[in-house]
Structure 1
Amino acid sequence: MGDVLIRVVAGFALAGLLPVSPALAADDDDRPLFTFKDPRITESSGLALSPTRDDVYYTHNDSDAGATFFAVDGKGQTRATFTVAGAEARDWEGMAASKDPKTGRGVLWFADIGDNFDGAWPDISIYKVMEPTSFRDATLPATRYRFTYEDGGHNAEGIMVHPRTGRLSVVTKQFSGAIYEAPKRLRTGRVNVLRKIGPAPIMATDAAYAPDGSSFVIRTYFSASVFRAPGELIAKVSMPQLDQAESIAYSRDGRSLLVGSEGVNSPVYEVPLPDTALPTPTPSASAEPSAEASPEATVEGGAVSASQGGGLTTGDILLWVAAAVGATGVITVIARKAR
C-alpha cells in the first residue's frame, strides 16, 4: 500500500495537481539517451555503468523477478543476461559498480534490500559479483553479505560504493530517510551492522557516488540532490518526468547523471550536472560519507540533524503532506464507489 500511495502522489505531481518547484520541473528538451528494448526488462530498478568497458550498462528488475541482471549497450539492446548463482531475490531494489583495487577488475553489487513493512525480514542481503569477462548468457558466482540496521528494520532502495575506499552505504526509502554505512570489512560468516551516519531526502529511490568519490547523489521520485558529505547539500538537479523514477548513476566522466524508470521500454536519460556539483579536480578519500567526515551531520538524542539541509526541508514536508491528503481523498472516493 505504501508504494501504491507514493505512485498516486507521483502521478498527481506529474499531472500538475500538486505544486512543483522550479528545481523539480522537467526540461522540455530532454531526450532519452536510450530505451531498454528487451521485453523482459519490465521494472528496471537498478542502473550502473560498467567500470571497465565503454558503452555497457547493467540493470535488473524490481521485486521477485529473480536473481537476474542484464548487460545492455548504448542503444538499449541486451548483450547478455546473467543469473546470480545461489542468490535470493525477495526485493532487489538497487545496484552499484566498483573496481577491485588489487586486480582492476569490475565488481557489481546487487541489493536485496526492499522491505515494504520496515522490518519484515530479519536481515537484508547484498551480493557481490565479479563483472563478467564476456557477454554471453551465463550463471555467475556471488558472495553474499547479510546486514541488519543498528536501529531496527527499514525499507531501502539505494546503495552506493565509494570508488576509492570500497565502503558500502545503504540509503533508506522513508519519510525520514537516512544513510547507513557498512563496516569497512565485510564478513560472510556473520551479520554486518549498518550504522546511521546522516539524513537522506524524503522517500529516496536510489543513490550513487561520483567517479572520483568527491560527492554523491540521492534521488527521489521528484528530484536529485548532490551532497559533498552527509547533510552537506551542494546542488539540487532537475529531473525529467518519468513514470516511476527508480534509478540513478553517474556518467563515466562524472559530469552528468543517468536516470531511469520502471516500465516496459523504459527510457534512460542523461542529465548534465550544474557547475557547483561537478567532481573536484583533486578528490580525496575524506569524501566518503561518515560522521567524522561531516561536522554538519550530528546525532542528537538518536536523531540526525544537518545544519546545511539534505534531509526533510519545509518544502518537502509541505509537498508530501499535501500529496498525502490529496491521494487519501482520491483513494477514499474510489473505495466508496467500489462498494
Structure 2
Amino acid sequence: MGDLRRAVVTAAATCVALGALSAPAAADDVGKRLFRFKDKRITESSGLAVSPTHRDVYYTHNDSSAAPVFYAVGGDGRTRATFRVSGAQARDWEAMAATKDPVTGRGVLWFADIGDNMDGAWPDVSVYKVTEPETLRDATLPAVRYRFRYEDGARNAEGLMVHPVTGRLYVVSKEFAGSVYAAPAKLRTGRVNVLRKVAAAPLMATDAAYAPDGSSYVVRTYFSATLYRPNGDMITKVSMPELDQAESIAYTADGRALLAGSEGASSPVYQVPLPDQAVRDVPASAEPTRSRSPRTSQRGARTASPRPEASDGGDGGGKGLSARDVLIWLAAAAGATGVISYIARRTR
C-alpha cells in the first residue's frame, strides 16, 4: 500500500471513528488468536488462504511493491517454505484463494494482482493460477496467467474468491459502492477475460472468500465482515477483531469459522466462529448470477431467480446505500480530501 493510499485510508478511518459509527470489537472479545507471523519478510500480509491438502498450513503474500512470492506458514506462525512464482508480476497483489482440483485432487492457489489505486491506471489486471506444491520446501513454481478487464470500466479491487464446486472466479471491488464481478466460466489465456457485475458488495471491501463447500461467501471490510448466500442474499454480519490494517479473510477448513488477518510486522491471525445460521446446508452449486425477471419452470410455475442485488453497498439488507453508508462515505471523502490537500501543499 502506497504512502498516499495509506494516508487516505487512515484519515477515512479516523473520520469514521470521530463520527461515532460502529467500530470493530476488541480482538479477544470476538475470536481467538491462532498465531502471529514470525517471518520478518512478511510485513504486509494482504492475502490469506488455508491449504487444501496440507494440514495446519496457511498461505500468505505481501501487498504492493513486493516480489511475486508467497509463504507457507505453520500453525505456530513460522514459515515452512517460501515460493517464488516464475513469469509473474507483482504490481499490487491484493488477495489470494485456495481450491482443490476435483479431477487430480491437487491443491490450486490463485493470486490476484488486482490492486489499482488510480482506478484505471492499468489496462487490465491479472490473476495467477499455481498448482500447490506437494512438498513444503523452498522452490520456484510456474503459473498460468489470466488477464481481466471489467465490463463497466477499470476500478480498484482487493477481494478474490473462487467457488469450490464450479471453479468460477470472482473479484470484489473496493469502492464506496462496491460490486462482485464474475469471471467467465471458462478462462482463456490468449485474450482478456471480461468481469461482469453480478452482485453488490459492502463499501471499501478489503477481501472476500468462499466457504469450502460453496454454501456461503464472506466479504471483509475495515470494520466488519458480511456473510452471503451464494445467490447474493445477505445472511448476517460478523464482528471482527480490531486489527491495525484489516486486509485478509478466509474460512477455516471445516467452514465453521473465519480467519482474519492484518498487514504489519508480526501481524496476528484470528479465528472467529460463525453464527449457527451461517452454516446451514444450502445447495453448494448455487452462485451469484446477473439478476433477471422471474422465470418460468418446465411445469409452468414461476420461480424466483437469484437476487444478487439483495445486499446493499453497505452493511445492511435491501438495495441502495443506507444512512450509515452515506455517513461513512462523507467522512471518508472529507478525510481523503484533507490528506490530499495537505500533501499537495507540502509538495509545491
Global fold match (TM > 0.5): yes
Aligned counterparts of 2:269 and 2:25: Cα–Cα separation in 1: 17
Deviations 1:285-306 (A, max 9, x none): 01x222259543359xxx999x
Deviations 1:236-256 (A, max 9, x none): 111111111000000111111
| CA positional deviation for 1:328 | 4.6
| CA positional deviation for 1:314 | 2.2
SS in 2 for 1:44: coil
SS in 2 for 1:159: strand
Q: Which residue, out of 9, 26, 33, partners 1:6?
A: 9
Q: 1:76 to 1:190 in 2, by over 3 A?
A: same
| CA positional deviation for 1:323 | 4.2
Match of 2:40 in 1: 39
Aligned counterparts of 1:246 and 1:268: Cα–Cα separation in 2: 11
Q: Which residue, out of 291, 313, 317, partners 2:326?
A: 317
Match of 2:285 in 1: 285
For 1:317, the aligned partner's letter is: V
Instruction: Check the 8 A contact 1:84/1:140 in 2, yes or no.
Output: yes
Match of 1:125 in 2: 126
Aligned counterparts of 1:215 and 1:31: Cα–Cα separation in 2: 22
Aligned counterparts of 1:68 and 1:59: Cα–Cα separation in 2: 9
| CA positional deviation for 1:221 | 0.6
Instruction: Check the 8 A contact 1:95/1:159 in 2, yes or no.
Output: yes
Aligned counterparts of 1:330 and 1:152: Cα–Cα separation in 2: 26
Aligned counterparts of 1:334 and 1:146: Cα–Cα separation in 2: 34
Aligned counterparts of 1:9 and 1:242: Cα–Cα separation in 2: 15
SS in 2 for 1:134: coil
Match of 1:52 in 2: 53
SS in 2 for 1:92: coil
% identical equivalent positions: 65
Q: 1:69 to 1:28 in 2, by over 3 A?
A: closer
Aligned counterparts of 2:36 and 2:309: Cα–Cα separation in 1: 41
Q: What are structure 2's unaligned runs of at least 5 residues?
A: 292-303
For 2:96, the aligned partner's letter is: M
Aligned counterparts of 1:263 and 1:12: Cα–Cα separation in 2: 22
Deviations 1:295-339 (A, max 9, x none): 43359xxx999x943764321221331344356557767987999
Deviates more, 1:318-327 or 1:144-153: 318-327
Aligned counterparts of 1:282 and 1:146: Cα–Cα separation in 2: 32
Confirm or deny that 1:167 pairs with 2:176: no
Aligned counterparts of 1:295 and 1:148: Cα–Cα separation in 2: 24
Deviates more, 1:320-329 or 1:148-157: 320-329
Deviates more, 1:94-103 or 1:326-335: 326-335
Q: 1:73 to 1:325 in 2, by over 3 A?
A: same
Instruction: Check the 8 A contact 1:231/1:310 in 2, yes or no.
Output: no
Aligned counterparts of 1:147 and 1:72: Cα–Cα separation in 2: 29
Confirm or deny that 1:296 pairs with 2:307: yes
Match of 2:263 in 1: 262
Match of 1:67 in 2: 68
Aligned counterparts of 2:283 and 2:232: Cα–Cα separation in 1: 19
| CA positional deviation for 1:232 | 1.2
Match of 1:241 in 2: 242
Deviations 1:106-141 (A, max 9, x none): 000000000111111111110000001111110001
Deviates more, 1:315-324 or 1:33-42: 315-324
Match of 1:106 in 2: 107
Q: 1:157 to 1:304 in 2, by over 3 A?
A: closer
Aligned counterparts of 2:218 and 2:42: Cα–Cα separation in 1: 24
Aligned counterparts of 2:343 and 2:284: Cα–Cα separation in 1: 54
Q: TM-score w.r.t. structure 2 length? A: 0.87
Match of 2:26 in 1: 26
Match of 1:82 in 2: 83
Structural RMSD (CA): 2.7
| CA positional deviation for 1:42 | 0.4
Deviations 1:193-215 (A, max 9, x none): 11111111101000000111011
For 1:95, the aligned partner's letter is: M
Instruction: Check the 8 A contact 1:232/1:309 in 2, yes or no.
Output: no
For 2:334, the aligned partner's letter is: V
Q: TM-score w.r.t. structure 1 length? A: 0.90
Count of matched residue positions in the alignment of Structure 1 and Structure 2: 331
Q: 1:118 to 1:333 in 2, by over 3 A?
A: closer
Q: 1:12 to 1:133 in 2, by over 3 A?
A: same
| CA positional deviation for 1:5 | 1.2
Aligned counterparts of 1:197 and 1:142: Cα–Cα separation in 2: 27
Confirm or deny that 1:276 pairs with 2:277: yes
